[in-house]
Chain A
């Protein structure tokens, strides 16, 4: 594990050190409180009844028997959730996903919910609710859903974008990206490779199921304790869907047991609040693992065609991708994101991506770590290796020759500033793994990946205590250790020790709106707000020092955590430390604070290149990952341990996706493997140590040069492993996951072909 800071020219005192995280003790002793760890006096247990059908008309829901069961306090159906958003489609979709409105759109779609005095009573009540369904034809495969005769999932959907259409369809949008003349590019090429790929649906697989404790009274005031990536977003959505005042719903984010995009919008939280409102008692609602798989938002399955044309010298002359992503039963932008990211690593004169967003009878797709990019990268990066092979060029050299750089026009539109793709490729070339010997049936592969990263609305407050310790309040949920990084930033900016800073994730009543922790924005945007808040606090500290000394504030500067008087006339004044100023604050104007409200724009894109060695058992098709290296541009690594942790975790998710993870649907449209037994995420013995190399290519859009680091490294593994498998046993896998049956089949087919 190494960090290469040679690109950065900033120097820091404590940024970049590996301090212990502030929430560590609570988490190793079992004291940390997650979604399901809260209780309220008099709380009820909430449970949800879900559709067993992939697509069905709900003719009647009879709750009369369940209502009479002693201990049942509230039952709700969509009748209890009227459309209060006046047909505003994205919100109505969320509401309809929370509870079916006349039609069950996928296996696991909620149709009713109950709150009862205990779990056993609630379970019995669910059994007593009688739902009359009329089963409708369904479709779960993205290519089948695009056929003219496919069952239509949502009758109101028409194709928007380019081209548009006005007839009922499952294609909700078509987006096009790119520039240049693609046909001329292919005409110029010496070599053209064209391939089709498929990837199956995967789930984020966070270990903590969704859980919340909701309490709403008849006075319209409410509280929600919930595991979420964005409690402000949850507040807004719940308030709008239930007709509550935003200010009167206080949402507190619990410790979150993983999200990866899956906890970015509401699933059952409005149901819990509605049950609580109806029963006038607190309701605790915790999903089972099966419900998490069937009823929350996995990522898309896809079908992608890629065509690359290149000259003999390795220059790519034309690049085309046609991407078909299923969004589940509600329109999304996931295909579009695939289209935007597909070619982002390269400097291409003629490039095009056509992306289709398609509806099927599966759960509403949610974001999953660099959403949509891994599938597009699998298709593009697999084809890149094929082209390199065809023209007889080393795959790393081929990528380096075509890599994007500062000034390259990105395939999705804008021109890049300083970026790190070439640096990661150079680092791959020089990495010892590239020279390590391989044994029989072993192969090495590499691949690149890209992700945007975001900023967004952010708010932070710094309060300085009379003893000189510092409270930092932020509104971005800490998913992976950001409280440590944010404390480091506050300490660096104020010039105090890390130990004197305490960072808290504020509830919605204590701080202004913050966008959800998604798009790798937590440390980037809250870090930015903290820097500005700290600078405001420093201004106040300077003013207080000036008051103490009775000199103009302009003559006070902040240096190394203390106020210093500038100029000859004050040179006998001893500097005042933050602690000294704080101690006097009651008599110099009261509490000292600094706050900042901002839209943290200027997030920098990031790139990763991965190297992977595998061994394939040619008799069973089993693949073992022997060695794995992640090289990624981090901008500036605030806390290197947690940057490495993000790289390693993302790579592990990508490896699981590449080899084993998939949603398996039966012919009946029902999910066959809604559990950790048969939805196979990697276990400890499946993986080697994952080596990392952090490159620090500063983002000019951030005072410290920070880029998001959380997502990019889930992008390369699918193709890196596919390329490694191909180099190990000579078969090109075009279907993810590359499970043993698929690899063995490919090996047999190749043997048969001679």
Chain B
């Protein structure tokens, strides 16, 4: 049993750890790095509670070896808020009562963010299929889908505002 030394980036921070060759990323995050936001619901990639991104790709942390993330960029639910400001998805989940027990919530948030990063204006069907890898047993998904729709709307407004602002700046500069 000899450990693998891994250097990686987690939520923007440089992180080093030593793990067993057969140890999965989820266990590394939870037991070695101290990030328990990703949960183990099944350990077989069927529930999505451990969803994180690796190099901006959505994955189940239970089906990635810790050793595989050498030199990569990992993002977990703990990396979603920027300082004191929640991501729109996080605030809309609270506002729309999109969680009950909350065990699946970190996974849903990470998956929904991956969706909106790729497709800022998804249809209800696209949301439902994009979130099909995340199981929720409390909500019947109704309020989750509505929260994602609301977050998409808010992000679109933010994006328009930002675009206008930078356009104004550009006009000023050229003037």
Q: Which residues of A contact B (CB under 8 A)?
A: 18, 20-21, 23-25, 27-34, 36-37, 120, 204-209, 255-260, 286, 288-289, 479-481, 641-642, 644-646, 648-653, 675-677, 681-685, 687, 689-690
Closest to B127 in A: A684
Q: Which 7 A-B pairs have the closest CB atoms?
A: A30-B37, A257-B103, A652-B140, A27-B102, A641-B97, A648-B140, A24-B94
**Distance of A152 Cα from B81 Cα, bound (Å):** 58
Q: A21 and B94 in contact (CB under 8 A), knowing A30-B38, A258-B137, A480-B100? A: yes
Q: Tell me whether B20 and A120 are in contact (CB under 8 A).
A: yes
Cβ of B141 within 8 Å of any chain A Cβ, yes or no, is yes
Q: How far, in Å, is A610 (CB) from chain B's closest CB?
A: 12
Stretch at the interface among B42-50, B63-71, B153-161: B42-50
**Distance of A255 Cα from B44 Cα, bound (Å):** 23
Q: Tell me whether B41 and A209 are in contact (CB under 8 A).
A: yes
Q: How far, in Å, is A479 (CB) from chain B's closest CB?
A: 6
**Distance of A206 Cα from B102 Cα, bound (Å):** 11
Which of A28, A31, A256, A687 lies in contact with B99, CB distance below 8 A?
A28
Q: What mask results when residues 131 to 145 of chain B are scored 1 for a CB within 8 Å of chain A, else 0?
A: 111111111111111
Closest to A478 in B: B101
Q: Tell me whether A684 and B144 are in contact (CB under 8 A).
A: yes
Which of B76, B93, B135 lies in contact with A28, CB distance below 8 A?
B93
Which of A28, A260, A652, A684 lies in contact with B94, CB distance below 8 A?
A28
Q: Tell me whether B94 and A690 are in contact (CB under 8 A).
A: no
Range, interface on chain B: 35 or more
Q: How far, in Å, is A646 (CB) from chain B's closest CB?
A: 8
Q: How far, in Å, is B102 (CB) from chain A's closest CB?
A: 4
- Set of chain A residues within 8 Å of B81, measured between Cβ atoms: 29
Cβ of B10 within 8 Å of any chain A Cβ, yes or no, is no
**Distance of A479 Cα from B137 Cα, bound (Å):** 12
- Set of chain B residues within 8 Å of A259, measured between Cβ atoms: 101
Q: Tell me whether A24 and B93 are in contact (CB under 8 A).
A: yes
Q: Tell me whether B77 and A641 are in contact (CB under 8 A).
A: no
Q: How far, in Å, is B150 (CB) from chain A's closest CB?
A: 13
Q: Tell me whether B99 and A685 are in contact (CB under 8 A).
A: no
Q: Which residues of B contact A (CB under 8 A)?
A: 1, 20, 30, 35-44, 46-47, 49, 76-78, 80-81, 86, 90-91, 93-97, 99-106, 109, 124-125, 127-129, 131-146
Q: Tell me whether A649 and B44 are in contact (CB under 8 A).
A: no
**Distance of A39 Cα from B38 Cα, bound (Å):** 16
Q: Tell me whether B135 and A683 are in contact (CB under 8 A).
A: yes
Q: Tell me whether B100 and A645 are in contact (CB under 8 A).
A: yes
Q: How far, in Å, is A522 (CB) from chain B's closest CB?
A: 12
Q: A289 and B132 in contact (CB under 8 A), knowing A479-B100, A479-B101? A: no
Q: How far, in Å, is B145 (CB) from chain A's closest CB?
A: 7
- Set of chain B residues within 8 Å of A256, measured between Cβ atoms: 101
**Distance of A23 Cα from B94 Cα, bound (Å):** 9
23 A-B interface contacts by CB (under 8 A): A20-B94, A21-B94, A21-B97, A29-B77, A29-B78, A29-B90, A36-B40, A207-B104, A258-B101, A286-B40, A289-B43, A641-B97, A644-B142, A645-B139, A648-B140, A649-B100, A649-B140, A675-B44, A676-B42, A683-B135, A684-B145, A689-B145, A690-B140
Q: Tell me whether A30 and B135 are in contact (CB under 8 A).
A: no
Q: Tell me whether B137 and A653 are in contact (CB under 8 A).
A: yes
Q: Tell me whether B78 and A481 are in contact (CB under 8 A).
A: no
Q: Tell me whether B46 and A37 are in contact (CB under 8 A).
A: no
- Set of chain B residues within 8 Å of A645, measured between Cβ atoms: 97, 100, 138-139, 143
Closest to A204 in B: B137
Q: Tell me whether A289 and B42 are in contact (CB under 8 A).
A: yes
**Distance of A642 Cα from B138 Cα, bound (Å):** 11
Known: A651-B140, A684-B131. 5 other contacts (CB 8 A): A28-B105, A207-B135, A683-B135, A684-B129, A689-B142
Q: Tell me whether A684 and B141 are in contact (CB under 8 A).
A: yes
**Distance of A31 Cα from B137 Cα, bound (Å):** 20
Closest to A651 in B: B140
Q: A28 and B109 in contact (CB under 8 A), knowing A481-B100, A642-B100? A: yes
Q: How far, in Å, is A359 (CB) from chain B's closest CB?
A: 28
Q: Tell me whether B102 and A32 are in contact (CB under 8 A).
A: yes
Closest to A689 in B: B142
- Set of chain A residues within 8 Å of B105, measured between Cβ atoms: 27-28
Q: How far, in Å, is A24 (CB) from chain B's closest CB?
A: 4
Q: Tell me whether A34 and B103 are in contact (CB under 8 A).
A: yes
Q: A206 and B101 in contact (CB under 8 A), knowing A24-B93, A30-B78, A30-B106? A: yes
Q: A208 and B78 in contact (CB under 8 A), knowing A28-B86, A684-B131? A: no
**Distance of A281 Cα from B39 Cα, bound (Å):** 25
Q: How far, in Å, is B54 (CB) from chain A's closest CB?
A: 17
Which of B127, B138, B144 lies in contact with A480, CB distance below 8 A?
B138
Q: How far, in Å, is A240 (CB) from chain B's closest CB?
A: 28
Q: Tell me whether A208 and B39 are in contact (CB under 8 A).
A: yes
